[in-house]
Chain A
Amino acid sequence: MEIRLLPWLRQSLAVLRKDLRIEFRTRYAYSALIMFAITTLVTVSFSVGGFVLDADITAALLWIILFFSAMAGLARTFVHEEETGTVTALKMAAQPEPVLIGKYLFNLTLLFSLAVLIVPLFLVMLNQTVLLPGALIAVILLGCLGLAGASTILAAIVAKAGAKSSLMTVLAFPVLLPLLFAAISATRVAFAGGLPQAIAADLLMLFFYDGIVVVASLLLFEYVWNE
C-alpha cells in the first residue's frame, strides 16, 4: 500500500467537506443521533426521578446513551452512498483510504458535537458531580475517537448488507466492548474521584484501542470498499 499523505489529506478533507455540506442541507445523520440521544436521556432522567445514582451506574448509562446514539446515526455515511447510488461515482473517482479517513472525520465531527451537547445535559439531569473534569474530557475525547473509528469501518461493511440498521448494533457490540469497559471504568473514576493510577490504565487502553482501530481500518478498508 503506497502511502501519499498530503494528497490523502486533501482528498479526505474533500470527502469530509462534501459530507458536512450534505448533512447541513439534509440533517440526515445528525437528526437520528440527536433525537435518539435526547429521547434516551429524558427517559433515563424520568426513570431515575430525584435519586442520585452511584457513579458506577451513571458512568454506564452515559456510555450506553453514546453507544446507541452512535449506532443510530453513524452508519448513515456509507449507507446513504449505497442507497442513492453515488457509491459507484465515488469509487471511480477516489482512492479508498481518503474515503475512509473523510468518513471517519465526518463521524467524529458528529459524535463530538453530540457529546458536547449531551454530556453536560446528562450531568445536569442526573445530578451527577464530576470530581475530575479534565479526566472526563479526556475519556470522552478518546472514547469518541474509538467509537467513531469502529463505527466507520463497520458502517462500510453494513452498507453492503440487507438488514442494515439492526446489523450495525449487533456487529458493533463485540467490537466496541473493550472500549466500553475502559470508558465506563474511567468515567466512573472521573465522576467519583480516585488516584491518577486508577484512570491512567483505562486512558492508555482507550488510546491503544483508538490506534488499533484506525490502523486496522486502513488495512481492511480497500478490501471492504472494493468487495
Chain B
Amino acid sequence: MVVTGRKEAGKLLNQVAVRGLSKAYRRRILFKDISLIIPDRSVFVLLGPNGAGKTTFLRIICGLIPATSGQIEIIINGQVLSPREKRTQIGLVSPDLALYGELSAVENLEFFAEVRGIPFSLARARELLHFVGLQGREHDLLDTYSSGMKQRMKYACALLHQPHILILDEPTTNLDESGVALVDKIIKQQKQQGIVIIATNEPREVAYGDQTFTLA
C-alpha cells in the first residue's frame, strides 16, 4: 500500500488509521481484522456487495456504532482525536442520515451550526445553499423538497463546519446530472484539503479512489 501525505518528523500529520478492525453481529462476521491507513489528501473508496458491511464500516469510523474489536484512529495535526473530537472533524452524507423536515434549509443549517458551536450567518448559509444548488428555496421546509434536493441539503450540512474528513455513503443517490457534477466538484475540492471516504459500487465513483478496499 502506498502511503502519501504531509509528513513531519517521519510521522503523518493527518490520517485515518484502521487497526485490526472487526465487526460481527452475534455469529455473523461482517468483516475481520482490517488494517489500513488512509492518508491525507486522498480519496478512499470502499467496495463490496450489498450487506458486505460498507455502511457499518463508515458508521464505525464516525463513532456511531462500536467495533467488535480493533480501533480507528483519526489523527489530525499529529494528534489522535478522542471520540468526541472525531465528530467535529467529520462530515457525513448517508442514506441513513435525515435532516429536519419540519425546518427550512436555513433553519437546519442554523441549528447544526449552533449545536456544533460554530458561528452562523445568513450570508454563509446562502453561500452554502447556492453552492449545492438550492438557491431560491432557502426558506422552504425540507418536507417540501424532492429526494434529490434533500440529498443536496445533506451536502450543505456536511460541509457547514468545513470538516477535515468527508464520509460519503452512496454519494450520488437520488441526484440528477447537475447533482452528480456537484458531488464531483465537492470530492475534488475536499481532496485538496483533507480526506474523502466513499462507500459505493458505482463505477464512476470508484474512479475517484486513490485507494480502494473491497469487503467480501
A-B contact pairs, 14 of them (CB 8 A): A10-B117, A17-B111, A18-B107, A18-B111, A25-B102, A84-B98, A86-B99, A88-B92, A88-B98, A89-B112, A91-B87, A92-B62, A92-B64, A93-B112
Do A14 and B111 touch (CB < 8 A)? yes
Is A95 in contact with chain B by the CB < 8 A criterion?
Answer: yes
Which residue, of A84, A92, A94, has the highest number of chain B Cβ atoms within 10 A?
A92
Residues of chain A whose beta carbon lies under 8 Å from any beta carbon of chain B: 7, 10-11, 14-15, 17-18, 21-22, 25-26, 84-86, 88-95, 98-99, 226
Q: Return chain B residues, CB-CB under 8 Å to A22.
A: 100, 102-103
Interface residues of B in 115-130 (CB under 8 A from A): 115-117
A95, B112: Cβ atoms under 8 Å? Answer: no
Nearest 8 CB-CB pairs, A to B? A14-B114, A85-B98, A94-B115, A88-B97, A22-B102, A18-B111, A93-B112, A11-B115
- In the bound assembly, the distance between CA atoms of A18 and B110 in angstroms comes to 10
* Cα of A47 to Cα of B162 in the assembled complex, Å: 62
Known contacts A15-B115, A18-B111; is-contact A86 B90 (Cβ 8 Å): no
Q: Judging by beta carbons under 8 Å apart, are A93 and B116 in contact?
A: yes
Chain B neighbourhood of A89, CB < 8 A: 97-99, 112, 157
A224 to chain B minimum Cβ distance, whole angstroms, is: 14
Q: Which residues of B contact A90 (CB under 8 A)?
A: 115
Which of the four size classes fits the interface of chain B?
20 to 34
In the complex, chain A residues whose CB is within 8 Å of the CB of B102: 21-22, 25-26
Choose among A18, A95, A99 the residue with the greatest number of B CB atoms under 10 Å from its CB: A18
A-B contact count (CB 8 A): 62
Are B98 and A86 in contact (CB-based, < 8 A)? yes
Q: 12 additional contacts, CB 8 Å, given A85-B98, A88-B96?
A: A10-B117, A14-B111, A17-B111, A84-B98, A84-B101, A89-B98, A89-B157, A91-B87, A92-B64, A92-B92, A93-B112, A98-B115
How close is B55's CB to chain A, nearest CB, in angstroms? 11
Mostly, the A contact residues are helix
Q: Kindly list chain A residues whose C-beta atoms are within 8 Å of the C-beta of B112.
A: 89, 93
Bound form: Cα–Cα A84–B150 in Å? 14
Interface centre among B94, B101, B117, by most chain A C-beta atoms within 10 angstroms, is: B117
B-to-A contact residues, CB < 8 Å:
62-64, 84, 87, 90, 92, 94, 96-103, 107, 111-112, 114-117, 157
Chain A residues, Cβ within 8 Å of B64 = 88, 91-92
Nearest Cβ distance between residue B182 and chain A, in whole angstroms?
A: 20
A93:B103 contact, CB within 8 angstroms: no
Q: With contacts A10-B114, A93-B112, A93-B115 known, is A21 near B94, CB below 8 A?
A: no
Within 8 Å CB of A10, what residues of B?
114, 117
Chain B residues whose C-beta falls within 8 Å of the C-beta of A25 in the assembled complex: 102
User: What are the residues of chain B within 8 A of A84 when measuring CB–CB?
Assistant: 98, 100-101
B97 & A11 in contact (Cβ 8 Å cutoff): no
Nearest CB of A to B116, in Å: 5
Task: State the CA gap A90–B92 with chains docked (Å).
Answer: 11
Q: Which residues of A contact B107 (CB under 8 A)?
A: 18, 21
A5 → chain B closest CB, angstroms: 13
Nearest to B163 among chain A residues (CB) is: A92
Chain A hits for B157, CB < 8 A: 89
| Distance from A119 Cβ to chain B, minimum over Cβ atoms (Å) | 30
The reply to whether B100 and A86 form a contact with Cβ atoms under 8 Å apart is yes
CA distance A85 to B112 in the complex (A): 15
Return A117 CB to nearest CB of chain B, in Å.
24
Contacts of B94 in A (CB 8 A): 88
From residue A55, how far is it (CB to closest CB) to chain B in Å? Answer: 43
A92 to B58, CA, bound (A): 13
Contacting residues, chain A, for B96 (C-beta < 8 A): 85, 88
